[in-house]
Structure 1
Amino acid sequence: FIEDQGRCKAPSTMQRRLYAVRKVHRLLGYEDPTYAEKINLSLRRVRRSKPIRPKQAKGLTRPYLDRFLASEPDTPWGLRNRAMMSLGYELLTRRSELVALKTEDLGARDDGTLRVLIRRSKTDPDGAGRIAFTSKRTADIVREWITWRGPEIDWLFCPIYHGQPIDRSLETATVKRLVKNAARRSGLDPSEIDAFSGHSMRVGAAQDLLTRGFETAAIMRAGGWKSINILARYLEQAEHNIWA
């Protein structure tokens, strides 16, 4: 089955299907067949036959972030988008985490920064949450958006219809669109625009933390990573010269 499907499917797809088989067997109380040596050998053969590296979103590092923020118009949409990009970058959020934030998740600190509770994520299905912090600059940008949006909206970021805020959450696809639109307004080449995604803020912030000298443990905590292997993929394209 694995080698037959592996002719037309990516190794990552086969890994997910094996996980599904494993889960079903465990739920039914059956012996898990997916750890058999024959299965492991078949999966290795599939991987060797298709040595394709997973596609990585282009990192929205600080220089890009500054350009993108400057490109946003002085409109309600521009206020919201600047706040979303600034917060997404500094909190190292996934798209789903960013649009799930509510106003009550933000807490003001004495130094003018924000303390943010990220309640649930892909690697935190039980909702234990993690705490993250912002700079004063980002806190000011977020406050400017909230002042326009008003106190009656529960969601931190919401749709704007006919110039009025709507009390519901944004779709995750909105994050990808606003990043690509900002890249387009900044005059980037089409190929570079295509490389950005809604994940780019998380990738770029991790790369910036590496180049600034932060240790892996600190970066993992900042972004809520449980696996160092996943973080290593994010950092592969970082412009970090250890000899400089």
Structure 2
Amino acid sequence: MDPLDQPVDPLRAPQDRHHLTDPAQCATALPLAKAIVARLERHARHAQGALAPETERALRKTSAAFTGWTTAQGLVALPATAETVATYVDALAAQERKPASVRQAVWAIATLHRAAGLPDLSKAEPVRLALKRMARSLGTRQRQAAPLGDHEVARILATAGTDLAAIRDVALVLTMRDLLARRSEVVALDLEDLSRADGGAGTALIRRSKTDQAGLGEVRWLSPETCLHLRRWIKAAGIEDGPVFRPVNKAGMVGTAALQGGEVSRILKRLAARAGLDPATISGHSARVGMAQDLVAGGADLAAVMQAGRWKSPTMPARYAERLLAKRGAVAGYYDKRG
């Protein structure tokens, strides 16, 4: 029998499933057929350094969740059948998981199978129909993170505190707003990426982003207020080179490594709570959402917002600012002319 015809028995897999990461690590985490192992190892060599850290983390998390579920159900994770994946989609939908999370799970399963030289199950009819069922039952509209706009930031500045971590946190949120930065972008900033400009303003080089995986880099403007808080943080932390935003421990000691992306969300939630905002509604996207809305409120069109936030499509900025854009729509214009 061809070894690829021999399914992997997930019930015999190691219990430490947090090591199920990208396809490379799956080769050693599961007792796979030899042919699949060889293909996964070959893929791992070719894929090394090709995926963004956020992508690797998503693949790790969703692959582990699927394997854990198949184990509990007595099903086979790799190779899986289209029916198994469809049942998994139905199970996630029954738990009312976010549609984006369900689609990400299917993407991870498909990625793992492609790496092993197996068919892409995301294109299979049972999986496609399960995703349609999910969309009909849950809808496809995602809950939007609450914005950190001008009003919210004013409250944060008034309540953030004055210790070293607070100085860093204020500089962080202002930088994220000016750059419309994703978490991965702001934690990747190095001191050499910052430059002074006229009038106390500055610029930042975003070396790599979700929409710039090749690392061509893009320069964005920083306000005088943001630069003031950045200089205050850099001086207080004694940073002379390397990462701009770093951990600060309870003793007030500044680390040498960059902040982790996940810590950014926790910082924003903590700032929001101190300011009397609901931290449950705040995410790592909140500064980005808030500035997108402020730009539209200030008269910027979608093309300008897309350029500022490095979006390749108008879908997300339009979604962030949809209520503001509605005021510029045909119906609003009609009633404005009627007076």
CA contact (8 A) 2:164 2:236 kept: yes
Residue pair 1:208, 1:238 contacting (<8 A) in 2 also: no
Q: 1:80 to 1:239 in 2, by over 3 A?
A: farther
After superposing the two structures, state which structure 1 stretch, 99-108 or 15-24, moved more.
Answer: 15-24
User: Structure 1 residue 156 and structure 2 residue 244: aligned?
Assistant: yes
Distance in 2 between residues matched to 1:240 and 1:30, nearest whole Å: 46
Q: SS of 2:200's equivalent?
A: coil
Corresponding position of 1:200: 286
Instruction: Give the C-alpha shift of residue 116 in structure 1.
Output: 0.5
The answer (yes or no) to whether the contact 1:210–1:240 under 8 Å persists in 2 is no
Secondary structure at the counterpart of residue 170 of structure 2: helix
In structure 2, C-alpha distance between the alignment counterparts of 1:39 and 1:6, rounded to whole Å: 8
Report whether the alignment pairs 1:4 with 2:82: no
Question: What are the superposed Cα offsets for residues 183-242 of structure 1, whole Å, 9 maximum, x if unpaired?
Answer: 222233xxx331112221011111111111101111011111112222233223558633
The answer on 1:170 being equivalent to 2:259 is yes
Over residues 46-103 of structure 1, what are the superposed CA-to-partner deviations in whole Å (9 max), with x where a residue is unaligned?
3113225322110111100111012121222221111111111111111121111111
Matched, 1:49 2:129: no
Paired with 2:161 and 2:101, the residues of 1 have a C-alpha distance of: 41
Pick aligned residue for 2:204 from 116, 119, 124: 116
Is the Cα–Cα contact under 8 Å of residues 149 and 293 in structure 2 kept in the other structure? yes
* Equivalent pair of 2:191/2:240 in contact (CA under 8 Å): no
Q: Is the 8 A contact 1:3 1:46 kept in 2?
A: no
Write the distance in 1 (CA, Å) between the matches of 2:294 and 2:180: 11
Show the counterpart of 2:41: none
1:166 is aligned with what amino acid?
G
TM-score (norm 2): 0.63
**Structure 1 unaligned residues grouped into runs of 5+:** none
Distance in 2 between residues matched to 1:7 and 1:133, nearest whole Å: 45
**Partner of residue 158 from structure 2, selected from 62, 70, 73:** 70
Point out the more displaced range, 33-42 or 222-231: 33-42
Residue 155 to residue 13, structure 1, CA distance change in 2 (3 Å):
closer
Indicate the RMSD between aligned Cα atoms, in angstroms: 2.7
1:232 and 2:315 correspond = no
Partners of 2:101 and 2:275 in 1: how far apart? Answer: 36
The higher relative CO (CA closer than 8 Å, separation ≥ 6) is in 1
Runs (5+) with no aligned partner, structure 2: 1-82, 94-98
Which structure shows the bigger proportion of residues in helix conformation?
2
CA–CA distance in structure 2, aligned partners of residues 168 and 214 of structure 1: 37
1:71 and 1:186 in contact (8 A); partners too: yes
Q: What is the number of equivalent residue pairs in this alignment?
A: 241
Give the stretch that moved more between structures: 83-92 or 125-134: 125-134
1:118-168 Cα offsets, whole Å, 9 max, x none, are: 112223222222221111111111111112222434110112242332211
**Aligned-residue offset at 1:114:** 1.0
Calculate percent identity across the aligned residue pairs.
Answer: 37
In structure 2, C-alpha distance between the alignment counterparts of 1:116 and 1:151, rounded to whole Å: 16
Larger radius of gyration: 2
Aligned equivalents of 1:172, 1:32: Cα separation in 2: 30
8 A Cα contact 2:302 2:318, kept in partner: no
**Residues 1:72 and 1:15: Cα distance change in structure 2 (over 3 Å):** closer
